[in-house]
Amino acid sequence: MTAKDKLTTSQITDILSKEIEDMDYSENDKFATEREIMERFSISRMTARQALNFLVAKGILYRIKGRGAFVNKRIIQRSHTIYSFTELMKERGMAAGSKLIEFKKVIPPEIARLNLAMSEGEFCYLIKRIRLADGEPYAYEIIYTPVSLVPNLDEYDLEKDSFYRILQQEYHKEFSYDKKTISAVKTDGEVSQALYNNDHAIALKILDILYDVNHNALEYAESWYHAEKYSYLSISVKK
């Protein structure tokens, strides 16, 4: 390979990132060393190190001092992009699924009503699901969405279909931004049983409010994620 033909650090990072996604890597598999990357792409050790650093910064790999870099399939990156659960799992090379627990019209709790800017007495849909990844419980999810925004939503099969797909493709809602609050919480009862098959556990709770381009709230969602299967990476850049 001539100097003219050599790949840039960004191109090498993209190749390695795609290989991790496409190939049969498992959680915690050891990744290639700096020397192996250096020899494969005929690049300097510094360039190989930069490529690994980028993959670590993206959350795709993590390092253990003295042992090298390892594949991290727990990290879910959602910075600057709104993804559905189905899209997130696909990005991680996992098959998404759902078990529908409850789906009906209700008067929402006050916190959901206020965040959705709904009038008192107005009905919303309550969607309660266990979200699955490769058939295993991954999250317990409760969604509230105004009936007035998505009439006849109950005609769709939310055990098999993506709620975000329905919003975008069937109701032509254009997403603008969402607000999230993430915290580690103790869980019990139905949530703990669904995620851990245990009466008490710790989960990552996410409060999520999704808005369209007209600043209308489309959903108020509370989700509890299995703490051993889910991590959240946020990258902030100083202006």
HSE-CB of 25 using CA atoms within 13 angstroms:
23
Highest mean pLDDT among 20-29, 124-133, 195-204: 124-133
0.85 surpassed by pTM: no
Q: Does the pLDDT of residue 237 top 60, yes or no?
A: no
CATH 3.40.1410.10 placement within the chain? 75-233
**Average pLDDT for residues 109-116, to the nearest whole number?**
93
On whether the CB atoms of residues 125 and 153 are closer than 8 A, the answer is yes
Q: What is the pLDDT of residue 230?
A: 77
pLDDT level of residue 239 (50, 70, 90 thresholds): very low
Output the six-digit token pair for 77.
């990156």
Q: Give pLDDT tens digits for 156-213.
A: 999 999 999 999 999 999 998 888 888 989 998 999 999 999 999 999 999 999 999 8
- Determine the CATH number of domain 75-233: 3.40.1410.10
CA 165-169-174 angle, 5° bins: 90
CATH 1.10.10.10 placement within the chain? 9-71
Q: What is the pLDDT of residue 67?
A: 87
pLDDT level of residue 220 (50, 70, 90 thresholds): very high
More confident residue, 232 or 130: 130
What is the topology classification, in CATH, of domain 9-71?
A: Arc Repressor Mutant, subunit A (1.10.10)
Q: Give pLDDT tens digits for 48-74.
A: 998 898 888 777 787 887 888 888 765
Give the residue from 194, 179, 62, 207 showing the smallest Cα distance to 130.
Answer: 194
